[in-house]
Chain A
Amino acid sequence: DQQVKQNSPSLSVQEGRISILNCDYTNSMFDYFLWYKKYPAEGPTFLISISSIKDKNEDGRFTVFLNKSAKHLSLHIVPSQPGDSAVYFCAAGGTGSARQLTFGSGTQLTV
């Protein structure tokens, strides 16, 4: 049972436009969420995070939105650049049995 789902395996966006990557989760014990970016044959690198007490966190061109009632988060990249082309993973963690990060299956973004 996938507790963190990224339903879009790929997304193609024109340079300069907005990229929106989505992530859904099912475990109510998750209370913090992270986005990682991964290039081929490299390890993921941390991009941005958000805790459940917030609904938005912004860092430069990257903004993460959290809708707790819908168990949904999204990553917005504005404006999109060719160097943003990568696989993006969302990850979720919490306390207790949810302490270890659970990752989604990733979305390949092509700009």
Chain B
Amino acid sequence: DGGITQSPKYLFRKEGQNVTLSCEQNLNHDAMYWYRQDPGQGLRLIYYSQIVNDFQKGDIAEGYSVSREKKESFPLTVTSAQKNPTAFYLCASGRQVIGGELFFGEGSRLTVL
């Protein structure tokens, strides 16, 4: 089945540690995205990539880093510089067409202790 796989689903880390969230898609989509969801807030864009080896900062990129070495993969690293990393992280992919929908993974819940 085609889709987006995020792992791990739940992750606990100590303050000051970097963590990497995995996102893999087999939908053959060019574009991939990382969003963050906090209670009572909408989805905020962290980073996006429209093509391999290229990515752009979203609205809240500080404290995060990404890579796009393969079309299928777009991992997100939450660094120790991120001041409030506890959140629900969502990866998405989509075709590069105006008005095209995004397909989301099931999300990763990161809790920093």
B102 with A46: CB separation less than 8 A: yes
By the criterion CB–CB under 8 Å, are A103 and B102 in contact?
no
Q: Are B43 and A49 in contact (CB under 8 A)?
A: no
Q: Indicate if B55 sits at the interface (CB-CB under 8 A).
A: no
A70 within 8 A of B: no
Alpha-carbon distance between A9 and B42 when the two chains are bound, in angstroms = 11
CA of A64 to CA of B77, assembled, Å: 37
Which size bracket describes the interface of A in this complex?
20 to 34
Q: In the complex, A89 Cα to B92 Cα: how many Å?
A: 15
Partner of A100, one of B6, B9, B45: B45
Which chain A residue has the least Cβ–Cβ distance from B102? A101
Taking A103-B42, A103-B43 as contacts, is the C-beta distance between A43 and B104 under 8 angstroms?
yes
The 14 sampled A-B contact pairs (Cβ below 8 Å) are A6-B42, A31-B99, A41-B88, A41-B109, A43-B4, A43-B6, A43-B105, A46-B102, A103-B35, A103-B42, A103-B44, A104-B42, A105-B42, A106-B42
Using a CB–CB cutoff of 8 Å, the interface residues on chain B facing chain A are 4, 6, 9, 33, 35, 40-45, 48, 58, 88, 90, 92, 98-99, 101-107, 109
Which 7 A-B residue pairings sit nearest by Cβ, starting from the closest?
A43-B104, A103-B42, A32-B99, A103-B43, A46-B101, A105-B42, A43-B106
